[in-house]
Amino acid sequence: MIGEGSGIVPDRGMNYLARGTLNTLMNLTDADLTQDTRNLTTQASTNARMSADTPKGLLAGSVVSVGASGTVVRANQGDTDVVGVVVNNAVGYPYESISGVGSGKCVYLHGTSSVFTTDLYETRNEAGNADVAIAVGDRLYCSQNGLLCNASQATVGSSPVIGIVLIAPSTTDPFMAVQMRL
């Protein structure tokens, strides 16, 4: 529990501070466990929050939407059927429970009463050629990679607002706090 409860453990991408609802109704797809999130787009490959060590599959803090036949999938920019934010990496980590793989279920957080912190979000614009800052009060949307982003990082169009930034990430603390709007 040391480090885990404090929110400073380095491999914990999402922590909920005020929990609305955790949902496990939807099933994972093969892509939810195997997709190489870092290589989806130029924006993803230049993201400062991901590295060559980033696990494959759905990541804690990424956005999910409804897929076909009772599945949950990585959300895409412009999806209107967004349902929440993933709580744990789908494939887990070495030496810990890999319950997503074992159960075929994805745990995601939703509800407007939810507040969470995450260190996984877009750090570049859509083209991947410029850094973009996230500020307190920014509305967050789903990027083309299924990550949280502000309006300067994506073409939001009719995309739903996922949340509002309560505490912006900084160079000394990469976590941002988000009040959900779903």
Please give the pLDDT value at position 163.
Answer: 96
- Residue 102's pLDDT band (boundaries 50, 70, 90)? low
Overall average pLDDT of the 77-90 stretch: 89
pLDDT over 60 at 98, yes or no: yes
Instruction: Answer for the pair 143, 151: CB distance below 8 angstroms, yes or no.
Output: no
Radius of gyration of the CA atoms of the chain, in A = 15
Considering the domain boundaries, does residue 9 fall inside one? no
62 lies in some domain: yes
Q: What's the one-letter identity of residue 146?
A: G
* Number of domains observed in the structure of the chain: 1
Range of the domain at 28: 14-180
Burial of residue 158 (CB within 10 Å: 0-12, 13-18, 19+) is exposed
Q: 0.85 exceeded by the pTM?
A: yes
pLDDT at 132: 92
Q: Which residue has the tokens 């996984």?
A: 120
Instruction: Please report the pLDDT score of residue 95 as a whole number.
Output: 60
- Is 134 contained in some domain? yes
Q: For 10-67, write each residue's pLDDT tens digit.
A: 446 789 899 989 888 888 888 888 888 878 888 888 998 888 888 888 888 999 999 9
Residue 108 falls inside a structural domain: yes
Question: Is a pLDDT exceeding 90 seen at residue 121?
Answer: yes
Q: Is residue 5 situated within a structural domain?
A: no
Residue 60 within any structural domain of the chain: yes
The reply to whether 51 falls in a domain is: yes
Q: Is residue 33 part of a domain?
A: yes
Q: How far is Cα 86 from Cα 95, in angstroms, rounded to an integer?
A: 20
* Contact between 61 and 148 (Cβ < 8 Å): yes
Q: What is the pLDDT of residue 51?
A: 84
